Structure 1
Amino acid sequence: MESTTIKQVTVVGTGVIGNGWISRFLSQGYDVIATDPAENAEKRMRASIDQAWPALEKQGLAKGASKDKLKFEPNLEKAVADADLIQENVPEREELKRKVLAEIDRFAKPDAIIASSTSGLKPSTLQADCSKPGRVIVAHPFNPVYLIPLVELVGGKDTASETIKKAEEFYQSLNMKPLVISTEIEGHVADRLMEAIWREALHLVNDGVATTEEVDAAIIYGPGLRWALMGPFLTLHLAGGEQGMKHMLEQFGPALKLPWTKLVAPELTEELTDRVVEGCEAQTTGHTIAQLEERRDEFLIELMQLLEKYWPGANLNGKI
């Protein structure tokens, strides 16, 4: 179901995330204009959309959804001129993002929403050079954007509440699960959680405790299964028995002081880099990235169907 206020969408930057957004927008029936100054950007973009489309067809396309609704416009000013919402996806460098967002702000019509896909920067920082900062927000997705429903919405100190409200309605129209974060912080919420596990995973590999394959298996066949349904808090709530989290904290709270985790990231030495790269390559021997992505997409579609079945609050058409 399309948003009642947003009809035309522009995507600025056509890397992995930008192309993921384009695929999702198109699959939900929106008209999309894409722009990117990189050489051969349009060719790579259309190949990426073609690769994602079978998974989107399997998941179910909205009425009127078509790849023919995509137009590539190399000129930024022309690309954003008529857009109701502009999704920015340029590389994660503060100076570059601020520059591009200020340009978008200058060229876009006054009531257009400008959303950045940044995974770590604060919206107050990104909107600092814009003349209309009230319409600038963070809308941070997760790869593959065309399937994963979560999008973190964060407003800066100058973001208007109406902008957040309109954005939330729009992303819900994409069958997404917008999580409105009330307090801006570097890395938002989900990335901070993932980063903590990533740091500890690197330590385990660096210290020779486990290989990349063993670390992955520890998540896949253990906590990952439970987290897919309940997340960390409800998972531990059930671990406390009839008294739930109360007993859990009484029983295992003291263990939090034990120095099990490293907290800080290990130095990314050449040796650690080689160990991680070689481990991942060994895990995927005989399979191309495209094959792995196809397998991942099929799994995610079935997993989300299972999640909807067992956790009604996770229905993709509602709020988190």
Structure 2
Amino acid sequence: MNRTFRTAAVIGAGTIGLSWTALFAAHGLTVRVSDPREDLAEAVNEALEQYAPHLAARGLDVTGLADRVHIAADVTEAVRDADVVQENGPERVDFKKDLFAALAREAPAHALLLSSSSAIPSTAFTGELADQDAARVLIGHPFNPPHLVPLVEVVPGERTGEDAVAAASAFYTSVGRTPVVERKEIAGFVGNRLQNALSREAVYLVEQGVVTPEDLDKVMTNSLGLRWATVGPFLGSHLGGGPGGYRHLVEHIGASMKQTGAGLGTPSQNAEQQERLIEAVEKAYGSSAYSELTETRDRRQLAVLSALDSTEKEEN
């Protein structure tokens, strides 16, 4: 089924919701934003001003960006004419149950109902919906900030229709994202499970005094992060096996890698160790303002994306 996306409702205007708002508007959609925060209009204006240069750097026309964004009085007004709804509420099953019941009731029957949930599968909060409403609900989980980081994990629930999965993938592609459909629900989905696995070992290494937080970040940005930004873990391993590929790698160093994997640590959960870790991270980065750190992060991410774009153009 071909769908046209002209109007998007963004429900929840925290960091993720504001980033979605800017991205959708930059791609020409009319965006209606709803959030109970008292400073909603101010937050939206600040976000559009902050993100416009990022979007322009990605080749988008940001002229009249704010004219396409409207503050809605409530959820009902936000979703009334929506073709797609992007929910960005708290990570609580009870909250999402109530909210999606309202979205299903108030949004047009054709509207996709998407959740930015970072850990909770949609089946967990759609059990009380009618089949025709559950069929159009699914996860569209981005990575922060979604107006820059391309990935969106598209995760259907047990009753999500195939046409909704295809439509969600088409929608995210239309706004310049890279959708990946995950065919089995699992807590945390794929990206956060990978991130958590790495973070778990990073915390352990710092706790054990092997490395400082700052130096561990240097290890990542000067090796694995650089590699994975271009090829990912499996292709990286395939290339690591030389002409023999992944098979050669497994046959020759698979045993030693298993031994290393078996020795991965379990971080301490006690309050004392946690406080030491927090203080170590604050020592490394606490002297810089949050806005300065995010600006540096976003500038570097833009540089990586621009470099990859240039390389792809040369390859094609």
TM-score of the superposition, structure 2-length normalised?
0.92
Q: Distance in 2 between matches of 1:295 and 1:283?
A: 15
Cα distance, 1:312–1:119 mapped onto 2, change above 3 Å: farther
TM-score of the superposition, structure 1-length normalised?
0.91
Residue 258 of structure 1 aligns to a residue whose secondary structure is helix
Q: Residue 40 of structure 2 aligns with which residue?
A: 41
Task: Give yes or no for the alignment of 1:241 onto 2:242.
Answer: yes
Q: Distance in 1 between matches of 2:10 and 2:315?
A: 28
Q: Residue 114 of structure 2 aligns with which residue?
A: 115
8 Å contact from structure 1 (residues 26, 65) kept in 2: no
Q: Residue 179 of structure 1 aligns with which residue?
A: 180
202-211 or 161-170, which deviates more: 202-211
Once the two structures are TM-superposed, the CA of residue 42 in structure 1 deviates from its matched residue by: 3.0
Amino acid across the alignment from 1:125: A
Once the two structures are TM-superposed, the CA of residue 122 in structure 1 deviates from its matched residue by: 1.2
8 Å contact from structure 1 (residues 121, 187) kept in 2: yes
Residue 115 of structure 1 aligns to a residue whose secondary structure is strand
Once the two structures are TM-superposed, the CA of residue 195 in structure 1 deviates from its matched residue by: 0.8
Query: Alignment identity in percent?
Result: 34
Q: Distance in 2 between matches of 1:10 and 1:290?
A: 27
Q: Distance in 1 between matches of 2:263 and 2:70?
A: 48
Residue 299 of structure 2 aligns to a residue whose secondary structure is helix
Task: Give yes or no for the alignment of 1:156 onto 2:160.
Answer: no
Once the two structures are TM-superposed, the CA of residue 265 in structure 1 deviates from its matched residue by: 5.1
Amino acid across the alignment from 2:251: E
Q: Distance in 2 between matches of 1:29 and 1:271?
A: 51
Once the two structures are TM-superposed, the CA of residue 51 in structure 1 deviates from its matched residue by: 1.7
Q: Distance in 1 between matches of 2:268 and 2:101?
A: 35
Cα distance, 1:277–1:65 mapped onto 2, change above 3 Å: farther
Once the two structures are TM-superposed, the CA of residue 281 in structure 1 deviates from its matched residue by: 2.6
8 Å contact from structure 2 (residues 55, 62) kept in 1: no
Q: Distance in 1 between matches of 2:109 and 2:233?
A: 42
Q: Residue 7 of structure 1 aligns with which residue?
A: 6
Q: Distance in 1 between matches of 2:38 and 2:226?
A: 42
The within-5 A match list for 1:21-100 is: 21-62=20-61, 66-100=65-99
Residue 209 of structure 1 aligns to a residue whose secondary structure is coil
Cα distance, 1:210–1:13 mapped onto 2, change above 3 Å: same
Once the two structures are TM-superposed, the CA of residue 310 in structure 1 deviates from its matched residue by: 3.3
Cα distance, 1:172–1:314 mapped onto 2, change above 3 Å: farther
- 1:240-264 Cα deviation digits (max 9, x unpaired): 1110111100012112432546667
- 1:176-219 Cα deviation digits (max 9, x unpaired): 11111122211111111111001111111122222111211111
Residue 135 of structure 2 aligns to a residue whose secondary structure is helix
Q: Residue 318 of structure 1 aligns with which residue?
A: none
Q: Residue 290 of structure 2 aligns with which residue?
A: 289
Q: Residue 273 of structure 1 aligns with which residue?
A: 274
Q: Distance in 2 between matches of 1:234 and 1:114?
A: 34
What stretches of structure 1 of length at least 5 have no aligned partner? 316-320
Task: Give yes or no for the alignment of 1:210 onto 2:222.
Answer: no
Once the two structures are TM-superposed, the CA of residue 266 in structure 1 deviates from its matched residue by: 2.5
